[in-house]
A and B are shown apart, each in its own frame.
Chain A
């Protein structure tokens, strides 16, 4: 089993540029999560999907962040335009259902300069 796969692993962009992250969850996992992790902090939930439906996006800054999970499998998280404060690690996780244990990907480390 490949686990949760995220790409790219690292990304450096200039402020005001767009950026996208991709996540491939574990096969059969219906629930997918995007988390943001700042340096020295624990992960913070941005959005949760049940299949293709975003069921919890209250923490997602909707003015610049967007996400989609077409066909209820892979997901992308986009930031447009990126700001210096968006520099962080973006983690994707999946689980069979909302209550099950999470499996996390290795994350994408974003640096905005």
Chain B
């Protein structure tokens, strides 16, 4: 079954500390993985995708096919990183629908 699991509903870290938001997936084919972010009272927006291999707002995520994971990392958290983060999966070659994780609420404490 296709599934995306974000094991932490809530993650709270201090400003300046490293952040790691976990995402594990179950998919039989070749997936495309995404991280979306939703700041307070705003719409969801794409943060990054594994195909791009880029760093956005200091965040990076590496697709680990062996561990079927796509964890989101940032070495030094900032208060403006407080938001809801969703991991999502799409099968390469499929032409619609993302499979969503339940989301992790990240709170950065001053």
Query: Do A and B associate with each other?
Result: no
